[in-house]
Amino acid sequence: MSSESIQPVPAAARGRGAAVFSPLYKQIKRLLLESLRRGEWKPATAIPSELELASRFQVSQGTVRKAIDELAAENLLVRRQGKGTYVATHHEPRSQYRFLRLLADDGAVPVAHSRFVDCRRVRAPAEIAARLGLKAGAGVVFVRRLLRFASAPVVLDEIWLPARMFRGLSYERLAAYTGPLYGLFESEFGVPMIRADERLRAVAADERSAELLQVQAGSPLLLVERVSYTYGDRPVEVRRGLCVTRGYYYHNMLT
C-alpha cells in the first residue's frame, strides 16, 4: 500500500497554514480517485467496505461515506445495499444507455446493430490531434461504423483513438466483439470511459454519408461531435456521429 493512503493528512492539521484547504472527505475522494485511476480496483469489482476504508484512512465511516457519495453521484462508483460498492462498468444495460441519447419518436430505446465499415491506422489530422492532446500527425486508429435501428441505418460514426492506447485494435477484433464499444475499450484496453463532451449541429449530408445512411445528399443531419475522457480528464476518443433524425430524436433533460 502506498504511503499517502496511510497518512492522509491528520485531522488536527486541517485548515491551517496550507494555501489550499480542502475538507477531509475531499482528500479521501481524491485518494479513491487515484486508486481508480491506477487500476487498483477494476471495473465491475467491489471496492473495500466503508468500514475498512475508514480504518485504512483513519477517519470515521461518515467521512468515507461522503467521499463515496460524490463518486457515486458522478457515476464512477455504484452502491449496492447489502453487497458493497462497485466500480462502474460499461458492461451493464444501465451504463450503456447513459451515452446513447437517441430515442425513437415514441420514446422507446432503439435496439442498435452496428456494422463496421472501416478500421485503419492513420496520422491524426491537426484538429483531431488537438482534441486528443496529441501532436499533429501522431498515430491514431480510425474507425467508421454504421448503426442500424430496426434495420434502417440511422447513425454514421467516425471515431479516432490514440494508437498508443489502443494497440492491436483491428477490424477483425471490432467485428468479433459483441457488446458496447466502450465495454471493449474498458475490458480489452484498460481504458474506462467516464465522461464525454458533445457539440451538436445541424448539417447537410454529403454524398458519401448520404449513400451510407440512405438519404438524399443535402438532407439535414444531426452532427454530434464527442470527445470522451477517462480518469484524470484524459481525452481518449474523438467521435463524429451523423444522425438521421426522421423517426428518432436526441433526448436531453435540463434540470
* Triad 215, 180, 29: Cα angle to 5°: 125
Q: How far is the C-alpha of 71 from the C-alpha of 104, rounded, in Å? A: 31
Query: Does residue 243 touch a copy of itself according to CB under 8 A?
Result: yes
Alpha-carbon gap, residue 242 to 226, rounded angstroms: 11
Task: Check binding of 133 to a copy of itself (CB under 8 A).
Answer: no
- Note every long-range contact of 32-35, with CB atoms under 8 Å and residues 24 or more positions apart, other chains counting: 32/67, 32/68, 32/71, 33/71, 33/76, 33/231, 34/4, 35/5
Residues that bind DNA in the complex, under the rule CB under 7 A: 11, 14-16, 21, 23-26, 47, 49-52, 59-63, 65-66, 79-85
Which CB sits closer to a copy of itself, 98 or 121? 98
78-117 binders of a copy of itself (CB under 8 A): 98-99, 101
- Would you say 5 or 245 has its CB closer to a copy of itself? 245
Question: How many residues bind to a copy of itself according to rule CB under 8 A?
Answer: 34
Residue 118 grid cell: 472501416
**Minimum distance, C-beta of residue 225 to a copy of itself, in the bound complex (Å):** 8
Return the sign of the alpha-carbon dihedral for residues 135, 137, 139, 145. Answer: positive
74 binds, among DNA, a copy of itself, none (CB under 5 to 8 A by kind): a copy of itself
Decide which of a copy of itself, DNA, none touches 253; Cβ closer than 5 to 8 Å per partner kind: a copy of itself
Residue 220 contact, options DNA, a copy of itself, none, Cβ 5-8 Å cut-off depending on partner type: a copy of itself
Angstrom distances, CA of residue 179 to CA of 79, 157, 235: 24, 16, 22
24 makes contact, choosing from DNA, a copy of itself, none, with CB < 5 to 8 Å by partner type, with: DNA
CA atoms of 84 and 68, how far apart (whole Å): 11
Interaction partner, residue 134 (DNA, a copy of itself, none; CB < 5-8 Å by kind): none
Please choose which of DNA, a copy of itself, none residue 240 contacts, taking the beta carbon within 5 to 8 angstroms, the exact cut-off set by kind: none
Determine which residue in the list 64, 140, 147, 221 makes contact with a copy of itself, applying CB under 8 A.
221
Q: Is 187 left (phi over 0), alpha (psi -120 to 50) or beta?
A: alpha
Q: How far is CA 78 from the centre of its chain?
A: 15
Q: Which of 2, 49, 58, 75 binds a copy of itself (CB under 8 A)?
A: 75
Find out whether 149 and 239 touch, Cβ atoms under 8 Å.
no
Q: In angstroms, what is the minimal distance from the CB of 80 to DNA?
A: 6
Rounded Cα distance, 170 and 158, in Å:
15
Residues that bind a copy of itself (CB under 8 A): 73-75, 98-99, 101, 194-204, 218-223, 225-226, 243, 245, 249-255
